[in-house]
Amino acid sequence: MTSPYPVPPEPSWRKPAGILLILSLIALWLFLVTSAVEWLGQRFGGLPGWAELTIYVIAGIVWIFPMRPLLIWMEGAPK
């Protein structure tokens, strides 16, 4: 007797690998942005709060754009 429910697809290694890669890239991005803000602060004798906030807001938006290809790859069918 066959089941009335569709058979789920085989699990893919792409999602767990992609999640680990995303977390690693976020940690790297965080390190780079905070290091850059610290370096700018030392170079110019301290940044005003509004400048730091602006940098962090822009960096918080920009990080998602390079993730698009990775997310598409994660959802792709296994080959």
pLDDT > 90? residue 77: no
pLDDT in tens, 10-68: 777 888 899 999 999 999 999 999 999 999 999 988 889 999 999 999 999 999 998 88
How sure is the predictor about 79, in pLDDT bands with cuts at 50, 70 and 90?
Answer: low
Quick one: CA torsion of 31, 34, 40, 45, rounded to 10 degrees? Answer: -130
CB atoms within 10 A of CB 45: 6
Burial of 63 (0-12, 13-18, 19+ CB in 10 A): middle
Is pLDDT of 1 > 70? no
**Cα–Cα distance list, 56 to 15, 65, 77 (Å):** 28, 15, 35
Q: What is the pLDDT of residue 14?
A: 86
